[in-house]
Amino acid sequence: MTDRFFNAAVNRRAWLAGTSGAVVGSSLRSWMPALAMANEGQPRPKRSCILLWMNGGPSQTDTFDMKPGHDNGGPFKAIETKTPGITVCEHLPGIAQWTNQLAVVRSMSTREGDHSRARDHLRTGYVPQASIQFPVIGSLVSNEMGEQTGDLPNYVSIFSRGLFGPGMPPAGFLGPAHAPLLVGRDGEGRNDGGRLTVENLATARGVTPDQAYERLQLLESIQKPFLDARPGAAAESHLSAYAKAARLTSPAAARAFSFDDEPAALQEQYGRSQFGQGCLLARRLVERNVPFVEVSLGGWDTHEENFPRVQDLCGVLDKAWSALMQDLHNRGLVESTLVVWMGEFGRTPTINPRQGRDHYPKAWSVVLGGGGIRGGQVIGKTEADGLTVNDRPVTTPDLLATLFLAMGLDPRKQNISNVARPIRLADPLAKPLHEILA
């Protein structure tokens, strides 16, 4: 590989050192230094964001909007938190100690009850349309931060299985330069098993680093005359993809993606689950100025046996999330890191005959905390049965406009779409939750 693809002076010896092992392993500890060096010295955005994405749609009635005493409430008890007057599920005792840093929004009211459409809506801010390829939140943030200047990308998605369907390019009309680096696609982050990988960075089986390097040199020599004769967006996108891949082969990658320098006790605080490891990696990345990191915890589609499944999921979530908050606090990163907890919708307050809860976008909860958020408060309210919002309904554009403002971005900023139509970061009808913005 040469400077044309590297976009930097990376010699053959350095490249071989950086690709001396495949990017696989049973835990993050075993990752070889074939990823990306830290963005040390790069300007930090006003705030980074860690999105804890609950894939499948978590039950608000069993987490942050308990209904004790009502038939819809289920068997879980509500417990007091660090903030007087705010209660959460008994299976979230760790995060209960951080409500002073959190704003619980109990009045989300959206319209999409299908997983795919709701996921696209919550992650782009717009109802899916056939003609417009809307970018997801992380890609929008990446674009606002400008061209990637360090070796780490602007957007990293951890355990993204099921989030990006074949019909939805994550970066949409912003193009592949703002697509996420995908980490750990082998699992959804819930259990201890599975491998953690970075997609497409390992060499093919039986191909040595020497051979891989020489193949890339050969590829460049073949492509160069063709690309030189055909300048334009397609050629630039092609070269950009190679340049990004080259950055991810830096030998210094271990500083960002290896846990060798993390105390064992801290790793235990996060939990040895994949989601716990993902949250620890998220902290390491925002510490190195990555603007947007998401960690997905799947399994919330609890149509059957809701209560044992939610209890199990809350155990994984609570351990990792509370450790993340403590770690950010200890490192002075709470004020510069927005943390968002949400899924694509909530679940029915009523319990079905299979002891499950079904899809419910009409009244559900999200949580925002950390940087840019005035914590220790609850926004909105649902009726005693949880079926409807009776105070301060919040739409998807309202939520995303609030998120962008908390990060220091202007939700009214426009981008030109693939159909030459200007699209704002958040729908112009959005009403941000100014009462929770610090």
- Domain-embedded: residue 350: yes
Among 33-37, 221-225, 331-335, 431-435, the minimum mean pLDDT is found in: 33-37
pLDDT, average across residues 86-97 = 98
- Domain-embedded: residue 87: yes
- Domain-embedded: residue 321: yes
pLDDT, average across residues 380-400 = 98
pLDDT surpassing 70 at residue 179: yes
pLDDT at 118: 97
- Domain-embedded: residue 54: no
Q: Report the distance separating Cα 148 and Cα 142, nearest Å.
A: 8
- Two structure tokens written together for 436: 């929770």
Q: Highest mean pLDDT range out of 1-5, 22-26, 119-123, 173-177?
A: 119-123
For 337, the enclosing helix (H) or strand (E) is strand 337-342
Q: Report the distance separating Cα 437 and Cα 203, nearest Å.
A: 46
- Domain-embedded: residue 308: yes
Q: Going by C-beta distance under 8 Å and a sequence separation of 6 or more, which residues neighbour residue 136?
A: 123, 124, 170, 171, 172
pLDDT at 196: 53
Q: Report the distance separating Cα 129 and Cα 121, nearest Å.
A: 10
- Two structure tokens written together for 167: 């019909």
Provide the whole-model pTM: 0.86
Secondary structure (3-state) at 294: strand
**Diameter of the chain by CA atoms?**
73
- Domain-embedded: residue 56: no
Q: Report the distance separating Cα 411 and Cα 372, nearest Å.
A: 15
Q: Report the distance separating Cα 216 and Cα 205, nearest Å.
A: 16
Query: Would you say 8 and 252 are in contact if contact means Cβ atoms under 8 Å apart?
Result: no
Query: Would you say 150 and 235 are in contact if contact means Cβ atoms under 8 Å apart?
Result: no
- Comparing C-alpha atoms, which of 346, 347, 193, 217 is closest to residue 274? 193
State the helix-helix crossing angle for 396-406 and 115-124, rounded to 10 degrees: 40
Q: Report the distance separating Cα 322 and Cα 88, nearest Å.
A: 14
pLDDT band of 255, cuts 50, 70, 90? confident
Residue range(s) defining the domain that contains residue 243? 3-42+71-99+109-200+210-436
C-alpha distances in angstroms, 105 versus 235, 237, 344, 375, 394? Answer: 45, 40, 14, 11, 8
- Domain-embedded: residue 61: no
Chain mean pLDDT for the chain? 85
- Domain-embedded: residue 64: no
pLDDT band of 351, cuts 50, 70, 90? very high
Report how many domains make up the chain: 1
pLDDT at 273: 93
